[in-house]
Amino acid sequence: MAAVQILTAAADGDIPLVKKLAERLRKSGKGLEQVVEEIKDKRIRRRGPLHLAAWGGKLEMCRFLIKEFLLDIDGVDEEGVTALNFAILGSKSTAVVRLLLDRGADPNKADQNGITPLHNATIQGTYEIAELLLSKGAYVDSVCEKGASLHIAAEDGNVEMMEVLLRHQADPKRTVRLFYTPLTVAIFASSLDCVEQLIKAGADVNAGRPVTPLVVAANDGLTDCIKCLLEAGADANIPDESGRMPVEIAASQGWMECVEILFPHTIPIARFPDWSIDGIIQHAKSGSPKTQDHFPKEYDGSSLKAQGETAFLEKDYANALASYSMAVETNPSNSTLYAKRSLCCLRMGEYDKALDDAYTYRDMEPDLSNSCSEQAAALILLKVNSEFKCEDDIIIRYDDNAAVIIDQKGNPKGTRVFGAIAEELRELNFTKIVSLAPESLMGKDTIADLLTSIRNVDMNKKGTVRIEKLD
Which string of DSSP letters, residue by residue, matches 420-447? GHHHHHHHTT--EEEEE-GGGGTT-S-H
Superfamily holding 1-135: Ankyrin repeat-containing domain (1.25.40.20)
Predicted pLDDT at 359: 67
Q: Which residue has the higher pLDDT, 146 or 434?
A: 146
- C-alpha 326/C-alpha 280 separation (Å) is 18
Looking at 93-107, 282-296, 390-404, which range is the least confident one?
390-404
Global confidence as pTM: 0.61
Q: Is residue 392 a contact partner of residue 432, using CB atoms and an 8 Å limit?
A: yes
Average pLDDT value for the chain: 75
pLDDT exceeds 60 at position 373:
no
> What confidence tens digit (pLDDT) does each residue in 406-423 have?
444 444 444 443 333 344
Average pLDDT over residues 297-323: 69
The span from the first CA to the last CA of the chain, in angstroms, equals 65
Predicted pLDDT at 198: 97
Average pLDDT over residues 37-51: 67
Cβ burial, residue 471 (10 Å; 0-12/13-18/19+): exposed
Average pLDDT over residues 95-107: 96
Q: Is residue 54 a contact partner of residue 91, using CB atoms and an 8 Å limit?
A: yes
Predicted pLDDT at 293: 33
pLDDT exceeds 70 at position 36:
no
pLDDT exceeds 80 at position 109:
yes
Q: Is residue 6 a contact partner of residue 22, using CB atoms and an 8 Å limit?
A: yes
pLDDT exceeds 60 at position 471:
no
Predicted pLDDT at 177: 64
- C-alpha 139/C-alpha 88 separation (Å) is 16
Q: Select the highest-mean-pLDDT range: 1-5, 34-38, 388-392, 437-441.
A: 1-5
Q: Which residue has the higher pLDDT, 151 or 364?
A: 151
- C-alpha 91/C-alpha 45 separation (Å) is 19
Q: Which of 8, 31, 37, 6 is nearest to 20 (CA)?
A: 6
Average pLDDT over residues 57-77: 88
Predicted pLDDT at 47: 76
- What residue ranges do the domains of the chain occupy? 1-135, 381-469
Looking at 96-105, 335-344, 382-391, which range is the least confident one?
382-391
Q: Which of 418, 420, 428, 355 is nearest to 385 (CA)?
A: 355
Could you give the C-alpha distances from 26 to 36, 48, 311, in angstroms and in order?
A: 11, 17, 76
pLDDT exceeds 50 at position 349:
yes
pLDDT exceeds 90 at position 265:
yes
pLDDT exceeds 90 at position 340:
no
Looking at 236-250, 323-337, 423-437, which range is the least confident one?
423-437
pLDDT exceeds 80 at position 176:
no
- C-alpha 406/C-alpha 307 separation (Å) is 33
Q: Which residue has the higher pLDDT, 403 or 209?
A: 209
Write down how long the chain is: 471
Q: Is residue 330 a contact partner of residue 301, using CB atoms and an 8 Å limit?
A: yes
> What confidence tens digit (pLDDT) does each residue in 151-175 have?
999 999 999 999 999 999 999 998 8
pLDDT-above-70 percentage for the chain:
66
Q: Which residue has the higher pLDDT, 297 or 226?
A: 226
Q: Which residue has the higher pLDDT, 79 or 444?
A: 79
pLDDT exceeds 50 at position 447:
no
